[in-house]
């Protein structure tokens, strides 16, 4: 299998962890090609490491010629489709990928030699899947430093996705998060909150309302740069170190943070949806 993980940080981690488990359990060699784009401003090896016990997996940072592995579209004149048909027996691209491993097994059985998969989702679940990818030591040190302030405190994670995420904006309004924070404070007045968000406005609004109970990073979220992706990875694992997470509708980032930390997740969503 050749996997092209697509989308943002959480989407790519889901796709990679799924593919590694699927290939391991079905004795399939796996090559992963990690491409930088507008929403992913860094390479795999600048932020993550793969557990050395994982065998038959090669992860490479895409070079210029790897564009032929990307999703065929008008912007690249559909040329990747020709390349992928020539060199792969089965091609599954992004939204056409069916998130069910039984279907993938059937496609593999039908294939003579190779399958090309572009995916941004969780399509195969297995025990320990979120332990195989770790932040680099230099990044983990920053995570440890940031979460050290959680010691002996009840800290709840808040993930408010804004930016270009229409579903989160429409279904997970700020007022709903404020209600959840007030409920938690009413239950335990010592509770504090770690806020991860791509909106500077949300940081200031909640800080104004709740003061020192709200903690957040001073760095701005910028997915198109290396520093921005490192920041997003630190935020992801910081959320994973809280007691529970209130997350945004439609956000894989909220879900992944809870799964990494093995903590409860409640998606904040307006009634009737």
**Angle between helices 174-187 and 200-210 in degrees, nearest 10:** 30
Residue 82 is assigned to a structural domain of this protein? yes
Provide the CATH number for the domain around residue 214.
3.40.50.11350
How many separate domains does the chain show?
A: 2
Confidence (pTM)? 0.91
Identify the domain containing residue 105 by its residue range. 2-119
Residues 82 and 165 occupy one common structural domain? no
Residues 56 and 149 occupy one common structural domain? no
DSSP state letter for 221 = P
User: pLDDT by residue (tens digit) across 81-129?
Assistant: 899 889 988 888 765 555 555 676 677 667 667 889 999 888 889 999 9
d(Cα 223, Cα 126) in Å, to the nearest integer? Answer: 28
User: pLDDT by residue (tens digit) across 202-247?
Assistant: 999 999 999 999 999 888 767 678 898 999 999 999 999 999 999 9
**Is the CA virtual torsion 176, 230, 63, 22 positive or negative?**
negative
From 243, 158, 244, select the one nearest 209 (Cα to Cα): 158
Residue 124 is assigned to a structural domain of this protein? no
Residue 127 is assigned to a structural domain of this protein? no
Last residue of a domain, one of 119, 148, 166: 119
d(Cα 63, Cα 72) in Å, to the nearest integer? Answer: 17
Residues 113 and 154 occupy one common structural domain? no
Residues 190 and 90 occupy one common structural domain? no
Question: What is the helix (H) or strand (E) element at residue 238, kind and residue range?
Answer: helix 226-240
Residues 25 and 89 occupy one common structural domain? yes
- Res. 164: pLDDT tops 80: no
Residue 130 is assigned to a structural domain of this protein? no
- Report the 10 Å Cβ neighbour count for 99: 13
d(Cα 44, Cα 9) in Å, to the nearest integer? Answer: 10
Last residue of a domain, one of 119, 146, 181: 119
Contact 214, 193 (CB under 8 A): yes
Residues 63 and 145 occupy one common structural domain? no
Q: Is 142 exposed, middle or buried (0-12, 13-18, 19+ CB in 10 A)?
A: middle
């Amino acid at each position: 299998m050749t996997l092209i993980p697509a989308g943002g940080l959480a989407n790519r981690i889901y796709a990679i962890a799924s593919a590694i488990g699927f290939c391991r359990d079905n004795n399939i060699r796996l090559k992963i090609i990690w491409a930088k784009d507008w929403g992913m401003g860094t390479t795999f090896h600048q932020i993550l490491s793969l557990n050395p016990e994982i065998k038959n997996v090669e992860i490479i940072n895409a070079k210029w010629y790897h564009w032929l592995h990307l999703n065929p579209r008008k912007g690249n004149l559909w040329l990747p489709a020709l390349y992928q048909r020539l060199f792969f027996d089965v091609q599954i691209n992004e939204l056409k990928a069916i998130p069910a491993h039984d279907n993938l097994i059937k496609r593999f059985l039908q294939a003579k030699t190779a399958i090309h998969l572009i995916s941004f989702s969780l399509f195969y679940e297995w025990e320990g899947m979120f332990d195989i990818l770790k932040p680099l030591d230099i990044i983990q040190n920053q995570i440890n430093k940031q979460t050290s302030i959680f010691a002996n405190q009840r800290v709840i994670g808040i993930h408010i996705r804004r930016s270009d995420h229409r579903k989160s904006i429409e279904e997970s309004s700020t007022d709903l998060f404020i209600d959840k924070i007030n409920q938690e404070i009413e239950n335990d007045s010592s509770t504090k909150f770690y806020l991860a968000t791509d909106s500077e406005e949300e940081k200031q609004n909640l800080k104004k309302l709740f003061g020192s109970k709200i903690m957040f990073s001073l760095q701005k979220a910028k997915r198109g740069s290396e520093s921005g992706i490192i920041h997003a990875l630190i935020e992801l694992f910081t959320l994973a170190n809280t007691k529970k997470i209130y997350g945004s509708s439609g956000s894989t980032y909220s879900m992944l943070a809870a799964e990494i930390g093995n903590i409860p997740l409640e998606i904040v969503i307006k009634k009737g949806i």
